[in-house]
Every structure is written in C-alpha cells, then in structure tokens.
Amino acid sequence: MSADSLSRVFAALADPTRRDMVARLSDGDATVNQLAEPYRMSLQAVYKHLRVLEEAGLVTRPPGPQPRAVHLETEVFDRMNDWIERYRSRAERRFSRLDTVLEAMRTDEKPEGEGQQ
C-alpha cells in the first residue's frame, strides 16, 4: 500500500461517523438508506461520507440503479494490518532488547550473597 493511499485510509477512518459506517458494514452489505438510518444528517451528508470511504478504497458500490448495496473492501484492512505489524514488530524487538539490558542491570546490582541461603 503506497503512503498516499495509506494516508487516505487513515484520514477516512479519522471521522467517527465513517468508522461507525465501517463497523456496521463489517456485519454485511447495506444500502445507503440503511446506513443513513441512525444518523441525524441529510442523505447528502451520508453520501459525502461514503465518497470519502470509496476514495480511500474502503467501500465500493456496484454501478447501476438505486438501491445499491455498499460493500466493505476487507483487503484494505489486510494492507493496513501489514503496515501496522511492521512497526509493531520493530517496537517489540526494541522493547525486548531493553528488557534484556534491564534484567542484566538488575542482576549486576544484587549484593553478593543475595538469594543464597
């Protein structure tokens, strides 16, 4: 996933309404009217949110007459997870090395005879 497309995905998910739409779509496809039901906003505003999600590649709507189901594109999450995992793994390795150093320091600080009976 390119940095630009990743930025669009994270920017799209920065909005709580869009995150809620994505969460609801994770249960299954829905029409725009179904997605609009819980929100106190115009249908036009819902379409604007969907356009942002579509441009980020998070959702698709097939061409054709209304009503069209909105579909969550889950492979985007796989690519996001790969990106996140790369940095999580690096951080875990760094913390593991720090744990090793701290344990060695604790061992070196023990007074002679401590722990012996």
Q: Delimit the domains of the chain by residue range.
A: 3-73, 74-110
DSSP string, 8-54: HHHHHHTSHHHHHHHHHHTT--EEHHHHHTT-SS-HHHHHHHHHHHH
Question: Does the structure show a pLDDT above 60 at 107?
Answer: yes
Average pLDDT (65-72) is: 90
The span from the CA of 27 to the CA of 49, in Å, is 19
Cβ atoms 68, 62 nearer than 8 A: yes
The pTM score is 0.73
Q: Identify the CATH number of the domain defined by range 3-73.
A: 1.10.10.10
Q: Is the peptide bond before 62 cis (omega within 30 degrees of 0)?
A: no
Cβ atoms 61, 68 nearer than 8 A: yes
Cβ atoms 58, 12 nearer than 8 A: yes
Q: What is the pLDDT of residue 108?
A: 81
- pLDDT band (50, 70, 90) for residue 114: low
